[in-house]
Amino acid sequence: MKKQGFTLIELMVVIVIMGILAAVAVPKLFGMIAKSKASEIGPAAGEYVKLQDAYVAESGTKVGNWKMIGYNMNNSTSFNYAQADLTAETTKLEGLAKTAAWQATAQAKLNDCKSGSTWTISVAENTTATGSTGSPLVYTPEYSDQTNCDALTPNFLKIGK
């Protein structure tokens, strides 16, 4: 007589293997989901920098707010975007001190990065003869929770450089 099916030990081994795989794979999966949500920060900030540079090149002496430079970033399910401190219709380029001009705020916790963490780009006049981008502006990217958010947006600190 031939027996068909699996023994209890074979089933237990399969369940243990599946448990080990799940214990390893699930945290990796959630980490990748958070990183994919945070990946919108780089392109959004990069677009702002390019539009601001183009506006300054055309106007010559003015730094524009979002409306003037044609930047329109709608809030997403992960981030709220704001114009920060650069709200005047025009700001003179000469003597422009470091001013926050672009900001993204996390709406939810992303891995170890807390809800409410902010990514900010500040602009200032480039007083050196040669900037790395050739722009009359210097961009300073910063985030509030550098320890925990750095892994999600590692290239953010290189924007504008």
Residue 101 identity (one-letter amino acid):
A
Domain ranges of the chain: 35-158
For the chain, the distance separating the N- and C-terminal CA atoms, rounded to the nearest angstrom, is 77
pLDDT in tens, the chain (161 residues): 677 888 899 999 999 999 998 888 887 777 788 888 888 998 999 999 999 989 888 887 788 888 888 898 889 988 999 887 665 555 777 777 788 889 999 998 888 888 899 999 988 888 775 545 567 888 889 888 877 787 888 888 888 77
Contacts of 37 (CB under 8 A, 6+ apart): 77, 78, 110
Is 62 in contact with 56 (CB distance < 8 Å)?
Answer: yes
CA distances to 52, 90, 118 from 59, rounded to whole Å, are: 10, 10, 30
Nearest to 76 by CA among 43, 100, 46, 113: 43
Neighbouring C-alpha atoms within 13 Å toward the C-beta of 84: 19
* pTM (2 d.p.): 0.76
**Counts for the chain of helices (H) and strands (E), in that order:** 4, 6
